[in-house]
């Protein structure tokens, strides 16, 4: 069996994306990561390194703004699509993939503002079948922005009352995106909520109640196993 060559592109400002994602990667895979904070974060010839899978992490950056790496990141995403490299986007990464392939009209600041907590995600029959999930699962959320347009041929997998596009898949272009964060486990997730207490309380979130909760599934195993092995 061909060894999986996985690249994690970590857009997080605190570099938390890599360890949170890497904990779910197979031990026999060739996994590397790059911290992305400037246009120089993308070394020349990166696209020629024959990655089989690329994962785009979440970030505190807003997709509706600009970042110094925007042009290089979007070009890399387009090149991966053109070379049939399998790509997964998580929250900001999910939004970035859609913006790179469709333009800025595909993303927006959510009119519902902040979504944060161990929130209910509602999965359709396709998602339940391919991911072996329940119709509703609690998974970590922390975002202000959202995707409102998907690449042609995409299939919606999940939604909730806050965000219509919570997850999708596109078999033709080998894209898999989640607005929620499957990589974040209960311990790491609740640490973020406690750290961001002032922000969450500004938006009327009950932090003490949130940290008493947790995920309903081992989301990292479910979603990354599917992305790496079944998709």
Residue reference for tokens 């970042």: 67
Alpha-carbon 39 to chain mean position: 21
Give CA 174 to chain center in angstroms.
Answer: 15
Contact 193, 111 (CB under 8 A): no
Return d(Cα 60, Cα 65) in angstroms, integer: 11
Supply 209's token pair: 């109640």
* Contact call for residues 183 and 103 (beta carbons, < 8 A): no
Whole-angstrom distance, CA of residue 175 vs CA of residue 88 = 6
What's the farthest any 2 CA atoms get from each other in the chain? 51
Give the count of beta carbons closer than 10 Å to the beta carbon of residue 133.
Answer: 20
34-69 CB burial, b ≥16 within 10 A, e <16? ebbbeeebbeeebbeeebbbbbbbbbebebeeebeb
DSSP 3-state assignment of 147? strand
The residues that are catalytic are 91, 181, 183
Q: What is the distance between the alpha carbons of residues 33 and 79, in angstroms, rounded to a whole number? A: 18
């Amino acid at each position: 069996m061909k060894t999986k060559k996985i690249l994690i592109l970590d857009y997080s400002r605190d570099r938390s994306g890599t360890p949170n994602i890497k904990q779910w990667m197979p031990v026999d895979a060739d996994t590397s990561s790059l911290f992305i904070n400037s246009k120089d974060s993308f070394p020349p010839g990166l696209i020629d390194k024959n990655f089989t899978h690329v994962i785009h992490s979440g970030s505190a950056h807003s997709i509706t703004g600009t970042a110094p790496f925007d042009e290089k990141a979007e070009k890399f995403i387009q090149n991966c699509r053109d070379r049939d490299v399998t790509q997964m986007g998580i929250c900001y990464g999910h939004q970035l993939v859609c913006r790179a392939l469709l333009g800025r009209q595909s993303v927006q600041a959510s009119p519902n503002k902040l979504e944060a907590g161990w929130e209910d995600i509602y999965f359709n029959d396709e998602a339940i079948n391919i991911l072996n999930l329940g119709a509703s699962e609690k998974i970590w959320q922390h975002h202000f922005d959202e995707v409102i347009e998907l690449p042609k041929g995409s299939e919606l997998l999940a939604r909730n009352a806050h965000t219509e596009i919570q997850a999708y898949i596109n078999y033709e272009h080998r894209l898999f995106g989640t607005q929620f964060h499957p990589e974040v486990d209960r311990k790491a997730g609740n640490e973020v909520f406690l750290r961001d207490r002032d922000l969450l309380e500004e938006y009327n979130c009950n932090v003490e109640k949130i940290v008493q909760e947790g995920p309903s599934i081992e989301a990292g195993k479910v979603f990354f196993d599917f992305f790496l092995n079944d998709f």
